[in-house]
Amino acid sequence: MERQLKAKYLLIIALIGFVAITGCNTLKQIQNSITNLKRCEFKLKNVDNFRVNGIRLSNKKSIKDFSITDGLKLTNAFAKKSFPAEFILNVEAKNPNDGTGGTKQSSATLTSFDWTLYIDDVPTVSGNIANPITIPGTGQASIIPLAIGLDLYEFFGKQGYDRMLNLALALGGANSSPAKITLDARPTISTPIGPISYPGRIKIVEKTWQ
**Per-residue pLDDT at 135:** 84
**Per-residue pLDDT at 19:** 40
**Per-residue pLDDT at 11:** 41
- Cα(200)–Cα(32) distance, rounded to whole angstroms? 19
Mean pLDDT of the region 138-145: 83
pLDDT at residue 18 tops 60: no
Q: Are 210 and 203 spatial neighbours (Cβ–Cβ below 8 Å)?
A: yes
pLDDT at residue 142 tops 70: yes
Query: Tens digits of per-residue pLDDT, 76-98?
Result: 999 999 999 999 999 998 877 65
Residues paired with residue 149 on neighbouring β-strands, in sequence order = 86
- CB-based burial, 102-118: b 16+ in 10 Å, e otherwise: eeeebebebbbbbbebb
Amino acid at 30: I
- Cα(105)–Cα(132) distance, rounded to whole angstroms? 20
pLDDT at residue 193 tops 80: no
Nearest partner of 114 among 39, 26, 198, 49, judged by Cα: 198
**Per-residue pLDDT at 2:** 52
- Cβ neighbors of 96 (< 8 A, separation 6 or more) are 39, 40, 41, 103, 137, 139
113 or 141, higher pLDDT: 113
Exposure on the CB side of residue 35, measured as CA atoms within 13 A: 16
Q: Which of 80-94, 104-118, 152-166 has the lowest mean pLDDT?
A: 104-118
pLDDT interval class at 36 (50, 70, 90): low
pLDDT at residue 137 tops 80: no
pLDDT at residue 199 tops 60: yes
Exposure on the CB side of residue 169, measured as CA atoms within 13 A: 16
Q: Percent of the chain, pLDDT > 70?
A: 74
Give the DSSP H or E segment for 20: helix 2-39
Q: Which of 101-110, 161-170, 196-205 has the lowest mean pLDDT?
A: 101-110
pTM of the shown model: 0.79
3-class state of residue 166 by DSSP: helix
The backbone torsions φ and ψ at residue 67, rounded to the nearest 5 degrees and listed phi first, read -70, 165
pLDDT interval class at 136 (50, 70, 90): confident
